[in-house]
Chain A
Amino acid sequence: MTQIAHTMENQHPLGRSLKTASPAGQFAPLQDEGDLPEPWFPAALALRWSVRIGVFIAMCMILLPGLWVMLNAFRTNGAILARDSLFLASSYTLDNFRNIFGLGDVTEIPVKAYFMNSVIISVTSTVIAIMIGLAGGYAFARYKFRYKKYLFVGLMLSRAVPGIALSLPVFIIWSWLGLIDTKVGTILVYVAMNVPFSVWLIDGFFRQIPRELAEAAEIDGCTRWQAFWQVEFPMAKSGIASAAIFAFLTSWNEFALASQLTRTTDTKTLPVGLMDFTSQFTINWAGMCALAVVIIIPALILTFIVQKHLIAGLTFGGVKG
């Protein structure tokens, strides 16, 4: 029964949870032994325990590398180099964070400015990419036109061009246009990077909304525009949200293009700023770890808030379209 409840919960076309409607609560509690399917062979108990152990090991491998870096953000460079203990250090410190935000003794790297640049560039490019992607996705989902299939594949292929291969010619053209080391130049590139995937996800979501709904609204006297905003848009919200998250994360994390297109404190983003901690022969590990935490925290918070949309977006936008 649990299996079926889960299936229902996850099968809703818009990825919304049907938990309240599912009968799971009325039946046996989820974790009861009898709730699992009947044992297929005598070693069912062994199987169950190997699943538990397997999940534990998998979760450790997923979590520990990231957590280890975060832990080191609270150690001094001396402690890291002395390598005295794995997980329990003798002392923890916030100095690394004070330093990178210019509150401590050492202030070399303008992380605050990089942070603002990252926020401005990521948010602006996400908003623009989603508006363009919304128009494109809607057009692909709702209209029939010639060469539609080829246009769609062409759009997708533009995403297949690796950022680094693009960075060489974009760098030359942008330097002619005077767009090197401007936020506009970087935003423009990120919009183009995010449009294809947004179109793909949003197209998948609009296809699942019956065309008849908007048509009914039009018959009732709405204009096409009103029908879109009042009927179709609210239903596709989950897909649009997930496209927005993917676009934001891509822009927030991008390095190959940003490292060539941004040069100064006014434009450098956080991933590029990470390189400031390396010099020819030494690396300021503690500072880098602290900056890593600064980069990862906004992404983590955002993702955990909207993780349901994220899964729905990846699965239903991509699969069913």
Chain B
Amino acid sequence: MMSLRKLPPEARLLIPSFLVIGLVVALPLVFSLYTSFTAYRLVRPETIWNFIWFKNYIRLFESVDFWWAFGRTVLFLTVVLNLEMLFGLGLALLINQVTRGQRLLRTIMMFPMMFSPILVGFQFKFMFNDNIGIVNHILQDWFGITQAIGWLVDAKLAFFSLAVAEIWNSTAVFAILLLAGLMAMPQDPLEAARVDGCTPIQAFRHVTLPFLMPFVYIAMTIRSLDVGRAFDIVKIMTNGGPAGRTELIWTLSARAGYEDARMGYANAMSYVAVLLSILFTVHFFRKLNASRQYLNEVDA
């Protein structure tokens, strides 16, 4: 205890954070890095000492299923993040135009954020169900479509349904941040643009949008921190099906780890997933830092 007291105050304040992160995140990650080099199977504990170097990774990179899942994950992340950004921007612009009852609209806007991803998965599984789902119900009763559409059974439609669920759940984060950006925006440049005879579209393109860009990156950073949550939605809605056509890295590694009990192989796969997430986050984090500096300059 004596030596703890000699530490500078900032170190004492930071120790709890790093201790808990070390125990729950760093240590398991080091451990999973080790097991990814072994033939560890949960059912045979002694296999943890069976060091096989890069065999898991080689097998991984030779596996067609893995590459499909990898590509699908990148596609899913890109599509979903960009669409969320677009819809969030649209929503923020709409609500910014409203003067009466804006506070209420902002509150309603955040409604989907409160839904747990697992709940969203189940909810959209229910809605897209080919027998009892509301989507088919409406299509059949109002639009006269005779055949039930298997939203979660057809490979392409299943991917679309997953994206819809994820977008419904998370667009609000973008909308809130962009709305804050719109509200913090100085009005003078817009006035000037108007005086100079800009159309609203020109004013938006050359005045509003550049000011909003920092907020876009901040939203991207925050969202890229937890896109891994999409695991819950995918797990519930399709569980990687039909026939593995919506399998993402997360569902594939969970299947290898818990259902096939091939922990070494699964850990190799989740390591790739971790690196992918970190890549996304670092990318946006750098943009975020740049945009923060830009904002502070504007403020000053």
Using CB atoms and an 8 Å cutoff, list the residues of chain A in contact with chain B: 2-4, 6-7, 10-11, 30-31, 35-38, 40-41, 48, 51, 54-55, 58-59, 61-63, 65-66, 68-69, 72, 80-81, 83, 86, 131-133, 135-136, 138-140, 142-143, 145, 151, 153, 155-170, 172-173, 188-189, 191-193, 195-197, 199, 249, 252-256, 260, 271, 274, 285, 288-289, 292, 295-296, 299-300, 303-304, 307, 310-311, 314-316, 318-321
Known: A161-B29, A296-B114. Contact between A320 and B97, CB under 8 A? Answer: no
Interface stretch, picked from B63-71, B118-126, B154-162, is B118-126
| CA of A66 to CA of B109, assembled, Å | 12
Task: Say if the beta carbon of B152 comes within 8 Å of chain A.
Answer: no
| CA of A162 to CA of B280, assembled, Å | 12
Task: Say if the beta carbon of B91 comes within 8 Å of chain A.
Answer: yes
**A253 and B176 contacting across the interface, CB-CB below 8 Å:** no
Count residues of chain B with CB under 8 A from any CB of chain A.
105
Using CB atoms and an 8 Å cutoff, list the residues of chain B in contact with chain A: 8-11, 13-14, 16-18, 20-21, 23-29, 31-32, 35, 42, 90-91, 94-95, 97-100, 102, 105-119, 122-124, 126-127, 131-132, 134, 137-138, 141, 168, 172-173, 176-177, 180-181, 183-185, 187, 194, 199-200, 214-215, 218, 222, 224-229, 231-232, 235, 250, 253-254, 257-258, 263, 266-267, 270-271, 273-274, 277-278, 280-282, 285, 292, 295-296
| CA of A103 to CA of B187, assembled, Å | 59
**A55 and B105 contacting across the interface, CB-CB below 8 Å:** yes
Most chain A CB inside 10 Å of its own CB: which residue of B21, B31, B112, B281: B21
Residues of chain A within 8 A (CB-CB) of B95 are: 55
| CA of A108 to CA of B257, assembled, Å | 29
**A165 and B116 contacting across the interface, CB-CB below 8 Å:** no
**B108 and A59 contacting across the interface, CB-CB below 8 Å:** yes
What is the predominant secondary structure among interface residues of chain A facing chain B? helix
What is the predominant secondary structure among interface residues of chain B facing chain A? helix
**A11 and B218 contacting across the interface, CB-CB below 8 Å:** no
The minimal Cβ–Cβ distance linking B120 to chain A, given in whole angstroms, is 8
Residues of chain A within 8 A (CB-CB) of B124 are: 65
| CA of A172 to CA of B35, assembled, Å | 10
**B183 and A7 contacting across the interface, CB-CB below 8 Å:** yes
Contact of A30 among B9, B100, B134 (CB under 8 A): B100
**B10 and A164 contacting across the interface, CB-CB below 8 Å:** no
| CA of A265 to CA of B235, assembled, Å | 22
**B115 and A191 contacting across the interface, CB-CB below 8 Å:** no
Given contacts A3-B187, A256-B229, A311-B106, could you give 7 more A-B pairs where the C-beta distance is less than 8 Å?
A7-B185, A40-B200, A58-B91, A158-B26, A164-B270, A318-B222, A321-B292
Known: A169-B28, A274-B119, A292-B122. Contact between A307 and B107, CB under 8 A? Answer: yes
Which residue of chain B lies nearest to A67 when distances are taken between CB atoms in the complex?
B111
**A170 and B24 contacting across the interface, CB-CB below 8 Å:** yes
Residues of chain A within 8 A (CB-CB) of B295 are: 319-320
